[in-house]
Amino acid sequence: MILKSFNYIISLLIIFFSTTLLSDEKIDIWQNKKEIATESTNLKDKEIEKNSELSVQPLKSFEKIQIQEGSAILSNEQKVYGIYEPADYDLNLNMWSSTNADDLRSSLKRLNKIELSKSSNEILEAILFSFSYPPKGMSNKEFVDLKINWLIKNDRTDLVENFLKQNEQFDSKSKAVQYLVDKNIAGGNIKNGCEKIKFIDAKIKDSYLEKFKIYCLIFSDKKPEAQLLLDLLREQKQSSKFYDDKINFLLGVSEKSSNKINEKNLLNFYLSSITIPNFKYEPTNKTKPEIWKYLNAANLIKLDDSSDKTKLKELEIAANNNQLDKNKIFEIYRQVPFNLNDLINAKNKYQTLEESDARALIYQKYLISDANETKIEYLFLLEELFKKADLINIYSKFLSDRIEEIGIDNLPQDFQEIALAKIVTDEDLKLGKVRYNDKIIHQSKILKYFVEGENKKKVQKDIDKIFKKVSKNKKYFISAKDLALADALITDGFSLPSNFKFNELSKKFDVPNNLLKLIDNDQKAFLALRIVEIIGEDEPYELDPETIYFVTNLLNKMNLVTIRNKVLNSALPLRT
């Protein structure tokens, strides 16, 4: 009896300690990261040189955190959702907790009205998609919906997929999966679309996705399995007469399908296109964007009669609105019939023709021209015709590509400057090689600390040397960009010469009080979001010096060093 009681007590102790250990492991998911960060800070003081090389990597784009699938973190029984590790951007799980929901909604509403620059987008994504709790007055469901809706609106396919991988269950999951499915159907890539079905589980009850899953089984030649799921779908009254007709035909249950074209959704339209012999469809300005994309991908847009000017005009408008592949318009122009005399006298003849015929004639004249001077003349003339018809969106990239094919150096001198201005450059900021200039503080090799991860000991020597050199130049003017660099150096623990009166010099630049209040209220994430609004359509290097100073000053005050480094690296260096 005593032995049994002893064994019972031992068993209880084992269970107790095991439970404690498991509990500690769950809590340490985030605590361990914080302890590592603290240890890293201590090392920074003890081993400055080594650590500066590891921590300062401002040129890299924000990197995605790799979290195991289904690892939404639980704290106080509340889940958090995201893609990125908040600590990677000097943020934390509570970064929105001091922000009112209406402030976040209003800010995002304003941002949705402008086309953000690459840097603005990267900062916004880091803030919005780092794991965190929602702001005050916003449910988890609304917070997740807000994220998914933003990703879909901005067509961020890669981030939608990452979100699905890293967050096992959330209310708008079926919407995210349908976006990926439709994206692949629209691109004519059914195999990839079927692979996205892996994100669907038994907890998702979505008839659209179930219907697509059934089609995927047929597509993979698994008809018996498809039939079983179809029967289940019908039992649940989730099928439809149209869908049954198409699937029965694809399963071989029926010998023919109706010729009805259903535009209710992309899956119905796709099933229509593959089950109707000699499928033909005339899109209009009311046709859904995803159907336009599918028609493009499947090469289903044709103009059988090039004399049909009404139809051609509709296609030109669609191309100008980015609904139709712009190259399709030039293919049609090639089909417009002209006699030899028309082509010889194109410069005079085009003026007597209807607008689309005039563009077609000049395009064909360009194609048969040999001399580069003649080609560029007709390309410029064609540009004017597109501008006149308010269809320049069709032509801008086409013109740029043709000029690059010819080569600026192969054009007559008189055309080179104009042609160069017509080349459409990549909208993304392309950072060139940094050229250091030690006569100007914010362009000096002090920047190596931010650009190249130069060790702090070496940078401190450069600071002493360059500030001393500049102080000897009585005509040197301390600019706002110089102060932005100085402020960052002070924040990162560097010493500036005693004769450099930073506090006195910085007083002439005002930092907006409404933004300073965000610091007082510990609204890190919302402050960063307001900075995204300030940068907006511009890259940081395009901002005026005073704005660069107060933006980086605010980021310093909130210890948002990673974002600050990104701004500094664009705004300060002289690049070739």
> Residue 7 pLDDT more than 70?
no
Q: Could you say which DSSP state residue 79 is in?
A: E
Task: Name the nearest CA neighbour of 176 among 203, 207, 202, 197.
Answer: 197
Q: What is the pTM of this model?
A: 0.75
Give dist(CA 92, CA 528) in Å, integer.
Answer: 13
pLDDT of residue 432: 65
Token couple for 263 = 């535009």
> Residue 21 pLDDT more than 60?
no
- Residue 233 belongs to what H/E stretch? helix 223-235
Give dist(CA 458, CA 449) in Å, integer.
Answer: 9
Average pLDDT over residues 415-426: 80
- Count the Cβ atoms, other than its own, within 10 Å of residue 297: 15
Q: What contacts 68, CB < 8 A, 6 or more positions away?
A: 166
DSSP string across 400-426: HHHHHHH-GGGS-HHHHHHHHHH----
Q: Could you say which DSSP state residue 236 is in?
A: T
Q: What angle do CA 86, 88, 92 make, to 5 degrees?
A: 30
DSSP string across 461-512: HHHHHHHHHHHT-TT----HHHHHHHHHHHHTTPPPPTT--HHHHHTTSPPP
**133 exposure class (CB count in 10 Å sphere: 0-12, 13-18, 19+):** buried
Token couple for 534 = 């300030």
Radius of gyration of the chain (CA): 31
Residue with tokens 């028309």: 342
Condensed to tens digits (0 to 9), the pLDDT of residues 360-415 reads 999 999 999 999 999 999 999 999 999 999 999 999 999 999 999 999 999 988 88
Give dist(CA 458, CA 22) in Å, integer.
Answer: 47
Q: In this structure, are strands 74-75 and 78-79 parallel, antiparallel, or unpaired?
A: antiparallel
- Which of 75-84, 173-182, 379-388, 519-528 is least confident? 75-84
| Domains of the chain, residue spans | 172-301, 318-422, 441-571
Give dist(CA 370, CA 392) in Å, integer.
Answer: 25
Residue 466, CA atoms < 13 Å, CB-side half-sphere:
23
User: What is the signed CA dihedral for 185, 188, 192, 198, rounded to 10 degrees?
Assistant: 20
Condensed to tens digits (0 to 9), the pLDDT of residues 250-279 reads 999 999 999 999 999 999 999 999 999 999
Give dist(CA 351, CA 294) in Å, integer.
Answer: 37
pLDDT of residue 205: 79
- Which of 73-77, 210-214, 298-302, 488-492 is least confident? 73-77
Condensed to tens digits (0 to 9), the pLDDT of residues 435-459 reads 999 999 999 999 999 988 889 999 9
pLDDT of residue 431: 54
Task: Name the nearest CA neighbour of 427 among 323, 538, 531.
Answer: 538
Residue with tokens 């077609």: 360
Condensed to tens digits (0 to 9), the pLDDT of residues 107-132 reads 999 999 999 999 999 999 999 999 99
Give dist(CA 235, CA 291) in Å, integer.
Answer: 30
pLDDT of residue 77: 60
